[in-house]
Chain A
């Protein structure tokens, strides 16, 4: 599936595969972004890419039997496979000057699990092997046969902090499959809540990046403002992470006149406080020193790997699916997509800071334009085996859901491509040549959710 943003079109390439010899020619060398996708279909469906440069397992770890493919229809959802001799392999170094540093999967703080193996010469990182997919829960398989209404709840539990983006992307896919147009007020409300999601994430992330260089004021202020925003979420929707807000065909949560005022007041306060934090941070020599030229992701790498979201825009790659393939009410508001060229931690934090101010402006426009009217329409009977896509610019970037409808309003097949999935392969490239103690900072500046990626 390719997206041609300039023409606002998607292109799907299909090929038939012989069931007796389930192989296909790999394109991972010509199209590095396809690398993970091909490894994933090999793991989960047993379709083998011929000529793939990296034969290691990806989604299923090395101790999963090589001939069992859980996404095949004859594989029962709850079948537990025996553990086999591990096929895991990490980079091997011949030189004695290279120190291998294994970290994780469980880390020192309250963070998600991933296993990292650094090959370092002294302090400098030569190579990083990242072992991910520890939180792979088999979510797409679990959705198969589930009524679409229930699968919406599953979709919004793919990730905690991108919950709303996922639920809206899923809802869009179902609505598209049923040829449903949702009421204009619902479009505005979706946009409003999506921007509230971006706000609490970006502001929290700016604080969190400060943790990468021990800047305590920034950490506390970021966390405090994030909490303000999450409490606002709760006052308006009843959920701190905006779950249960969307319904198929529109919205479940509406905004009253009083709540509109609450949003307005709270955001004014947060904006003022955030501006103070930004002024402090961006004029602090030590902070700038730690962030500038650290963890550079080069534009050509970002392009080769089809990196999305904040990380792309900080490396000079101007992509934002809100602008490129507008959904909800994004075609009815004005906003600017910030792009920086440097590709370092500083550029990534700057993109977030600029986007926070854009979000304030988008929300202001939405609150002024919010139309009266219904917030939900019905979903008609869905035609089985029809497939459709939904997409969303989550706080981390472009998130795409593809759904094939099954009989009786259920899900037949489901695939979630989160922003994190596109961006993880870029992290090892950005850390190369940096010192090991800067890894947490670089990692935080990408702020990728493992749960989104692993599913």
Chain B
């Protein structure tokens, strides 16, 4: 069996390959913290450290949603961040691949629905892929990106077929 390190390396190569196949270019991600405990945010940050370094494979985290192909959302959407999430979503360019990172973003997590929290981002924006975990490991986040690419490919194929 392959070691953890080798598996991580495989994942990153797969990422590069799939990005080329599906998008034909690099992938730009915008992060939105919609009320996380910051655990998920730090795991996303981890992806850019010298050990995972997914920037080397053509994934970049960008400052503006207008430059983003994908939104990664952490947290279960607090009342105070609802507007920020909606604005970011509206500002993002198509195809607006939204990836929910962590239990909170997927379903509200342990906080659930409260007076201040919606309990899951799909109450507010449509979601492409759910990545569970509290927080999900860096590898799981890469896996989530891969799944989103699969889904994007599938959706664009269907769109193409509909046109004929």
Contacts and interface: CB of A to CB of B under 8 A. Distances in A.
Interface string B32-59: 1101111111111110111100000000
Interface string A71-90: 00001111111000000000
A81 B115 CA distance: 7
B61 A157 contact: no
Interface in B97-150: 109-117, 134-135, 137
A80 B115 contact: yes
Contacts of A141: 114-115
B128 to A, nearest CB: 19
Contact of A161 (B39, B81, B111): B39
B11 to A, nearest CB: 16
B50 A113 contact: no
Given A141-B115, A154-B110, A157-B134, A134 B80 contact: yes
A135 B134 contact: no
Contact of A224 (B32, B50, B109, B134): B50
A406 B37 CA distance: 26
Nearest to A208: B45
A64 B71 CA distance: 28
Given A112-B33, A134-B35, A241 B110 contact: no
A316 interface: no
A108 B63 contact: yes
A273 to B, nearest CB: 12
A240 B137 contact: yes
B115 A77 contact: yes
Contacts of A451: 36-38
Contact of B116 (A138, A153, A157, A220): A138
Contacts of A110: 31, 41, 44-45, 61
A341 to B, nearest CB: 31
Contact of A78 (B48, B61, B115): B115
Interface residues of A, number: 48
Nearest to B63: A108
B84 A227 contact: no
A415 to B, nearest CB: 16
A298 interface: no
A450 B41 CA distance: 12
A137 B35 contact: yes
Given A78-B114, A105-B81, A227 B46 contact: yes
A226 B37 CA distance: 19
A415 B134 CA distance: 23
Interface string A39-70: 00000000000000000000011001000001
Contacts of B115: 70, 75-81, 138, 141
A135 B110 contact: no
B16 interface: no
A158 interface: yes
A105 B38 CA distance: 15
Nearest to A77: B114
A293 to B, nearest CB: 29
A128 interface: no
Give the interface centre of A70, A105, A137, A226 by most chain B CB atoms within 10 Å. Answer: A137
A442 interface: no
Contacts of B40: 160
Contacts of A75: 115
A283 B48 CA distance: 27
Nearest to A59: B116
Contacts of A158: 37
A113 B42 contact: no
Interface string A218-251: 0010011011001000000000110100000000
Nearest to A241: B39
A111 B114 contact: no
B117 A138 contact: yes
A172 B42 CA distance: 27
Contact of A137 (B31, B48, B61, B116): B116
Give the interface centre of A79, A106, A110, A141 by most chain B CB atoms within 10 Å. Answer: A110
A421 interface: no
Given A110-B44, A134-B78, A159 B114 contact: no
B84 A105 contact: yes
B93 interface: no
Interface in A402-455: 449-451
A431 B33 CA distance: 25
A160 B109 CA distance: 14
B90 to A, nearest CB: 13
Give the interface centre of A80, A113, A227 by most chain B CB atoms within 10 Å. Answer: A113
A133 interface: yes
A137 B76 contact: yes
A136 B51 contact: no
B117 A243 contact: no
B37 A157 contact: yes
B41 A160 contact: yes
29 contacts: A64-B79, A70-B115, A78-B113, A105-B84, A106-B88, A108-B63, A110-B31, A110-B41, A112-B33, A112-B38, A113-B81, A134-B80, A135-B35, A136-B80, A138-B115, A153-B110, A157-B111, A157-B134, A159-B38, A160-B38, A160-B39, A160-B42, A223-B49, A224-B50, A227-B46, A227-B51, A451-B36, A451-B37, A451-B38
| 3 closest residue pairs by CB, A with B | A160-B39, A138-B114, A108-B63
Given A106-B33, A109-B31, A110-B45, 8 more contacts: A61-B79, A64-B79, A113-B81, A134-B78, A137-B76, A160-B37, A224-B49, A450-B38
